[in-house]
Amino acid sequence: MSTNNWESRSMGAFTLRYKPYTLELRHVFTVASFSRNTTPGLLLELEYEGLVGYGEASMPPYLGESQESVIQFLRKIDLSRFKSPFETADILHAIDEVDLKNTAAKASIDIALHDLLGKLMGQPFYKIWGLNPSLIPPTSFTIGIDTEDMIRKKLAEAEQFDILKVKLGLETDRMIIETIRSVTDVPLCADVNQGWKNKEEALEMAHWLSDQNVVFLEQPMPKEMIDANAWLTERSPIPTIADEACQRLVDVPKLQGVYSGINIKLMKCTGMREAKKMAELARALELKVMLGCMTETSCAISAAAQLGPLVDWADLDGALLIANDVYEGMAVVDGRCILPDRPGIGLRNI
């Protein structure tokens, strides 16, 4: 990739390059609390001995990061004391110590480091982890909150998918589901994005949605309503999944008994290394595992997909929702996630 407009820094054995990149969405994206048609992002490259690992940060504004904050964080990074990318644990620990937050910024380096390691070893990362890519669940495709006509248009674009993710949390919830059910009977995942505020009404909706072949509820009520979410989980006919309530590894044990499972996203948890630990801990705690994403290029999506065989549900449609992807990586064929047999996270530049 051209280095034009990239900020570049040499640090001992490593060279770090990055630049802002704005993702353009194919449709206006609406959830319970906001609408947008772009997502601020950042592309990153980490070079070592002539090999380049690719990384990415995606920063939906509600998460509190921006292109400016990510760049400021990356300017604090100094890798000069590390001799090799194989010092992975030490490198990522040092980066995590720079600041308490900035998880998307941290994820961009984590992804690039894993891509670089895979290229040094000559293997895709799912093989390094000993995972079988045929076990990745079919990915859902997201239908945002919209009008009946736009929902029907989006459904026409989603014909290849065997499962759909539906954004809920407003007074239009029943209309959205009924519109979808007038077109297709495929299973649905319902992402409420903390939109429901009353546990009794949430339970009533859970029963109604269960009858509509909705397979789980993602973040039904605000994360602060711990007791109400636990009450709903105990009574709901379908599983509840923590999203906003589940950011990093330290959160996972606290969610046992409050939700049925967790949604892991690289941009929330600092990248692939911690995401894998979260999936393994959730399994040990008998929690279901969902693998999600932001609107991202094929870089972060392909990185997340390396973990796909470890999860119950995949929601890896982020690159399909944008109009200006810059990479070719994980492909979606008939709703299935197909990982390329290429080293690292398997990217090619478009």
Q: What is the pLDDT of residues 99-144, one digit of tens each?
A: 999 999 999 999 999 999 999 999 999 999 999 999 999 999 999 8
d(Cα 223, Cα 244) in Å, to the nearest integer? 6
Between CA 212 and CA 309 the distance in angstroms is 28
Tens-place pLDDT, residues 308-319:
999 999 999 999
Instruction: Work out the number of other CB atoms within 10 angstroms of the CB of residue 97.
Output: 8
- What is the rounded distance in angstroms from the CA atom of residue 310 to the CA atom of residue 133? 10
Kindly state the tokens that stand for 201. 């009404």
Task: Express each pLDDT in 255-292 by its tens digit.
Answer: 999 999 999 999 999 999 999 999 999 999 999 999 99
User: Does 7-122 match 127-349 in CATH topology?
Assistant: no
Question: Given the structure tokens 């992975």, which residue do they identify?
Answer: 88
pTM value surpassing 0.75: yes
Kindly report, residue by residue over 217-253, the tens digit of the pLDDT.
999 999 999 999 999 999 999 999 999 999 999 999 9
- What pLDDT is recorded for position 1? 46
Give the range among 60-69, 292-301, 308-317 with minimum mean pLDDT. Answer: 60-69
Q: Please check whether residue 296 is in contact with residue 41, taking contact to mean a CB–CB distance below 8 angstroms.
A: yes
Q: Where are the domains of the chain?
A: 7-122, 127-349
Cα dist from 341 to 51, 54, 133, whole Å = 18, 16, 10
Within 13 Å of residue 37, how many CA atoms lie on the same side as its CB?
Answer: 3
- Reduced to 3 states (helix: H, G, I; strand: E, B; else coil), residue 255 is helix
Tell whether the model's pLDDT for residue 72 goes beyond 90. yes
Q: Which option is the CATH number for 127-349: 3.10.580.10, 3.40.50.300, 3.20.20.120, 3.40.50.2300?
A: 3.20.20.120
Q: Does 324 score more than 70 pLDDT?
A: yes
**Best CA proximity match to 217, nearest among 245, 246, 188, 197:** 188
Check if CATH label 3.40.640.10 holds for domain 7-122.
no
Q: What is the mean pLDDT of the chain?
A: 96
